A and B are shown apart, each in its own frame.
Chain A
Amino acid sequence: MRRLLQGIATSASGWIELRYHARRSKRLVVRNGQVEESSSAEQVGVGVRAFVGGAFGFASTTDLTETGIRRAVGIAQETAKTAAGAKRNRIEGIAKVALASGEFPLRTDDPLDRHSLEEKLKLVTRIDALVRSSSPHIVSSEVSYGEMLDEKVIATSDGASAHVFDAKPAFRVLAIAGKNGDQTRALETVGVTGGWSDLFAPRSPEETAERAVRLAVDQLNARPPTGGTAQVVLDPELVGLLSHEAIGHTVEADFVLGGAITAGKIGKTVASELVTMCDSGASEHIPHAVGELPVDDEGVPTERTVIIENGTLKSYLHNRETAAHFGVAPAGNARAYTYANEPIIRMRNTYVEPGETPVEELIGGVKDGYYLRGLGQSGQADANAEFMFGVREAWVLRDGKRTDLVRGVTISGNAFEVLGSVDAVGDDFAWEQGSGFCGKGQPAKTDGGGPHVRCTLTIGGEQDG
């Protein structure tokens, strides 16, 4: 396939990009002891992007013969030509960069296909039973395992020719507890780039289950918090979420050009000087982050981008088109979810660099506030960096000590103001967003993480009177 695509790419008139993408995925879901889903899926095809007259056209095909792919090239070029006629600002160009060539195998000692589906189903079934037997208050359980194995060939008329392998497994445990008509839920997850043992390196399946059970049951006795502004300690998952959702999207160059709040702010102070935030195609500090990839879908080798350095905004995130517009080098942020999607600007692993304060000191320094762990049921942020996240687990902190668990907590504010309020950054680090997807028209596997961070933000809760 690599030779075929390379041949078509180099013989085409004008700039084209070809991407063969074969995805094989499996999914196992057990709820309350019953297998609700055992499925496998295969999606294979070639996506073609053509650049004609300052505009892109895209076509995809499942016909993998040379004739079929050349037909798709023709449609993409024709579509680009039509688009060029309607475009107001023609695209200036595509950034020139040393493109990837060669084989890029997955790095793992324990590939997923070395483990049978029976073994995986047994684990899921066993953990599902464990959740329900862990506490008399558990009324429902759901445990699932999913894996996505990708093989891609990326070939462009300007020299990319990469053969890339990837595997992303994820494991999720949902526990629902009930008492006197009241119900609470807790979802705990892990997700990585890598193999079977890599998936359970952050924590064992049993530990993930134990976390979900404990949280669901404890929340039965928790009350909503009092609303208002508070000093909080955010865990690595919420730090990653804030970095990704509330900051990361506002520095994606397509959003910057669309009027995001960061437009024109490069070189300006946007956060406390304790904050350095990055986005990287590698798993910095801890291996197997889910957004890890060696080469992006434009054939650009991935690098680490410093978004904010000691509080100063340093860089946006680019594809080849926006990199040419801003006159910078692309760092491998373009990705497409399936063969039928065109590559767009995506984050990879977005995180805050660890600082120097031990976590106990972060918590110990809060007189009256909250310790907040993980995303609850939803999170959303705007182009003006205003965000709202549900929090999975929230503890009241009094005089530096955890006291009561509270539930139904949401946090909100402007992410840059929140980063401006950071007064201490922990010396720990974790990736914690590996099981989910980022949505931007298409899904993408992205990770987020960092150390614990102390800051000030708004807590949503009950209003008296």
Chain B
Amino acid sequence: MGSEGLLERCREAVLLAQKLGASAAEAFGQTIESVNSTVQKNDLQISKSQLETAIGIRAFVGNRVGFASTNSLEQLRSACGDAVALAKMSPEDPHNVLTAPTDIAPIDGLYDPASSDFSAGDAVKRSAEILSLTEAIDSRVLVNDAWFDAAIHDTAIVNSNGLSASERGSLFTYGLVATAREGDRVSSFDFQFDATRSVAGIDVATPVRRACESALASLGAEKGESFKGSVLLSPSAVSQILVGLLLFQLSARNGLRGRSRWKDAVGEDVAAKEFSLVDDGRLPGGVATGAFDREGVPHEELTVIAEGKLRSLLHNMYTAHATGGANTAHATGGARSIPAIGPTNLSILPGAAPHEELIAEISQGLLVRRFSGNVDPISGDFSGAVKAAHLIKAGKRTRPVAGTMIAGNVFDALRSLSGISSERERVYNLTLPYVRLENVSVTAN
């Protein structure tokens, strides 16, 4: 129906909710038109196409709020009725407030007109390319799963304060899960993906190369060694060990819930001087780029941690109102969910030395490419198995190891980290360097 049609349905939903008893209302609409092709067991599995519109309505009765969503636009009235009924049975909460309208600057490059011609057949070709590129690199590598997805998203938001905004974006996402097999030996799987906004930006070769390298490098892994020392995390491992805790602690909602130990730590040191973190919802070409957030607040670049010092938490309308802080436009979610808090395009700023130099400084350590374990976002304790890991001896990467666990604490790790690489990789909406941690317990099975 296009952005304009979606905006019209959102206006209709706001009026309906008000007619049914809401004192204020917000409607968030999304249309997704997508084609997709998947690969399994080294062969094309299925090709799919989808078109769906969903609208989510938040109805306010005073400061009470209820939410309902539907993908059946004939049922818009009954969804609005549900939202109002749910609001009436919920208790008052003075921080349930709606966004006031502001100017929202559109973002260039979010939508590639060429994407409207991208067919299911094109998606099939691209996923077949993932297979043929993998085979060309090494016949021992099997593609367990791969996919190519092309989507056009329309997003619209309308509220009874007069806010009205919409945008259209295209997004191509693709990736693979690969294992290497030699005789009876099977490597750990490796998972890689990438994304772009434009047809011209599609590059399936990079995730294929990374997955093959990692799967092959872990073939023939044997028992490791137990010690306490340096661990160099790859960008993927950084996302698995550090990012979850960072996001949990940075959520102002978790601060209000009494779960974040950083809730009153703005201005304090929470990490080593080398560590800076930035979130930018307007990043050109970013997966999470958009002009406004789930509540219609314009995105802006935000410095979250600067040289180890916490500069800001992530807020939405609710937490900004409840804490008296500034709304940082981090309301996330789609038409099927109430606004939550999350990052947009999050980056750890690069360090000075390439990761090879970080390895060269390690006398005994471990290079970790994937982590499969537990990170407790409250205590910070992490513990789990490392995958595609290599021992580091006297400044050199040596043999691959299997059955090795690492354990430590993320809060301590952030403060005591001893190096950040100059090169970074994009892990979906994250841009991350290699990070070297100290004093980590390494246990060989």
Chain A residues close to B by CB (< 8 Å): 31-32, 34-35, 37-45, 55-62, 75, 78-80, 82-83, 85-89, 117-118, 121, 139-140, 142, 176, 178, 181-185, 224, 227-229, 254-255, 257-259, 261, 340, 342, 376-378, 380, 382-384, 386, 388, 390, 407-410, 412-413, 441, 458, 460-465
Nearest chain A CB to B247 CB, angstrom units: 14
**16 A-B residue contacts at CB 8 Å?**
A39-B337, A55-B44, A83-B47, A83-B124, A87-B44, A224-B383, A254-B41, A259-B181, A376-B374, A378-B373, A388-B372, A390-B383, A410-B385, A410-B407, A461-B441, A462-B407
Taking a contact as CB atoms under 8 Å apart, the answer to whether A259 and B407 are in contact is no
Q: Which residues of A contact B71 (CB under 8 A)?
A: 42-45, 62
Question: Quick one: which of B68, B93, B337 contacts A35, CB cutoff 8 A?
Answer: B93
Nearest CB in chain B to that of A462: its residue: B441
How far does the alpha carbon of A340 sit from the alpha carbon of B34 in the complex, in Å? 11
Nearest chain A CB to B350 CB, angstrom units: 29
Q: Does B179 contact A (CB under 8 A)?
A: yes
Taking a contact as CB atoms under 8 Å apart, the answer to whether B144 and A224 are in contact is no
Contact A408 B47, CB 8 Å, known A41-B69, A258-B142, A461-B383: no
Q: Which residues of A contact B89 (CB under 8 A)?
A: 38, 117-118, 121
How far does the alpha carbon of A413 sit from the alpha carbon of B403 in the complex, in Å? 7
Nearest chain B CB to A319 CB, angstrom units: 12
Nearest chain B CB to A84 CB, angstrom units: 9
Nearest first, the 9 A-B pairs at minimum CB distance are A390-B374, A463-B441, A258-B41, A39-B67, A460-B405, A388-B385, A257-B41, A227-B443, A58-B48
Per DSSP, are chain B's interface residues mostly helix, strand or loop, or mixed?
strand
- Residue from B125, B375, B381 with most neighbouring chain A CB atoms (10 Å): B381
Taking a contact as CB atoms under 8 Å apart, the answer to whether B52 and A340 are in contact is yes
Q: Does B188 contact A (CB under 8 A)?
A: yes
How far does the alpha carbon of A382 sit from the alpha carbon of B402 in the complex, in Å? 13
Nearest chain A CB to B162 CB, angstrom units: 25
Taking a contact as CB atoms under 8 Å apart, the answer to whether A463 and B227 are in contact is yes
Q: Does B82 contact A (CB under 8 A)?
A: yes
Question: Quick one: which of B82, B93, B383 contacts A34, CB cutoff 8 A?
Answer: B93
Q: Which residues of B contact A75 (CB under 8 A)?
A: 49
Taking a contact as CB atoms under 8 Å apart, the answer to whether A38 and B384 are in contact is no
Q: Does B429 contact A (CB under 8 A)?
A: no
Taking a contact as CB atoms under 8 Å apart, the answer to whether A378 and B374 are in contact is yes
Q: Which residues of A contact B142 (CB under 8 A)?
A: 258-259
Given A142-B257, A185-B378, 10 more A-B residue pairs with CB atoms under 8 Å apart are A38-B87, A44-B71, A56-B45, A58-B48, A227-B441, A261-B186, A407-B381, A412-B384, A458-B403, A460-B384
Q: Which residues of A contact B69 (CB under 8 A)?
A: 39-42
B side interface size, CB within 8 A = 80
Q: Which residues of A contact B226 (CB under 8 A)?
A: 227, 463
Q: Which residues B59-88 have CB closer than 8 A to chain A?
A: 65-72, 75, 79, 82-83, 85-87
Q: Does B363 contact A (CB under 8 A)?
A: no
Q: Which residues of B contact A413 (CB under 8 A)?
A: 403, 445
How far does the alpha carbon of A43 sit from the alpha carbon of B79 in the complex, in Å? 11
Contact A61 B443, CB 8 Å, known A42-B69, A224-B381, A386-B385: no
Contact A82 B376, CB 8 Å, known A383-B189, A458-B403, A460-B407: no
How far does the alpha carbon of A185 sit from the alpha carbon of B258 in the complex, in Å? 12
Taking a contact as CB atoms under 8 Å apart, the answer to whether B383 and A83 are in contact is no
How far does the alpha carbon of A461 sit from the alpha carbon of B336 in the complex, in Å? 40
Nearest CB in chain B to that of A185: its residue: B378
Taking a contact as CB atoms under 8 Å apart, the answer to whether A408 and B407 are in contact is yes
Question: Quick one: which of B48, B79, B86 contacts A342, CB cutoff 8 A?
Answer: B48
Nearest chain B CB to A3 CB, angstrom units: 20
Q: Does B338 contact A (CB under 8 A)?
A: yes
How far does the alpha carbon of A176 sit from the alpha carbon of B120 in the complex, in Å? 48
Taking a contact as CB atoms under 8 Å apart, the answer to whether B52 and A62 are in contact is yes
Q: Which residues of A contact B313 (CB under 8 A)?
A: none
Contact A39 B47, CB 8 Å, known A258-B144, A386-B188: no
Q: Which residues of B contact A83 (CB under 8 A)?
A: 37, 44, 46-47, 124
Q: Which residues of B contact A178 (CB under 8 A)?
A: 258
Taking a contact as CB atoms under 8 Å apart, the answer to whether A384 and B188 are in contact is yes
How far does the alpha carbon of A31 sit from the alpha carbon of B82 in the complex, in Å? 22
Q: Which residues of B contact A257 (CB under 8 A)?
A: 40-41
Contact A259 B41, CB 8 Å, known A384-B186, A460-B405: yes
Nearest CB in chain A to that of B122: its residue: A82
Q: Does B399 contact A (CB under 8 A)?
A: no
How far does the alpha carbon of A390 sit from the alpha carbon of B71 in the complex, in Å? 37
Question: Quick one: which of A118, A409, A463 contacts B442, CB cutoff 8 A?
Answer: A463
Taking a contact as CB atoms under 8 Å apart, the answer to whether B405 and A227 are in contact is yes
Nearest CB in chain B to that of A408: its residue: B381
Nearest CB in chain A to that of B442: its residue: A463
Taking a contact as CB atoms under 8 Å apart, the answer to whether A184 and B79 are in contact is no
Nearest chain B CB to A58 CB, angstrom units: 4
Q: Which residues B143-194 have CB closer than 8 A to chain A?
A: 144-145, 179, 181, 186, 188-189
Taking a contact as CB atoms under 8 Å apart, the answer to whether A185 and B188 are in contact is no
Question: Quick one: which of A38, A57, A121, A229 contacts B47, CB cutoff 8 A?
Answer: A57
Q: Does B228 contact A (CB under 8 A)?
A: yes
How far does the alpha carbon of A408 sit from the alpha carbon of B93 in the complex, in Å? 36
Question: Quick one: which of B54, B87, B373 contacts A390, CB cutoff 8 A?
Answer: B373
Nearest chain B CB to A278 CB, angstrom units: 25
Interface string of B91-104 (1 = CB under 8 A from A): 10100000000000
How far does the alpha carbon of A45 sit from the alpha carbon of B70 in the complex, in Å? 11
Nearest chain A CB to B91 CB, angstrom units: 6
Taking a contact as CB atoms under 8 Å apart, the answer to whether A383 and B407 are in contact is no
Q: Which residues of A contact B381 (CB under 8 A)?
A: 224, 407-408
Q: Does B139 contact A (CB under 8 A)?
A: no
Contact A340 B50, CB 8 Å, known A86-B124, A257-B41: yes
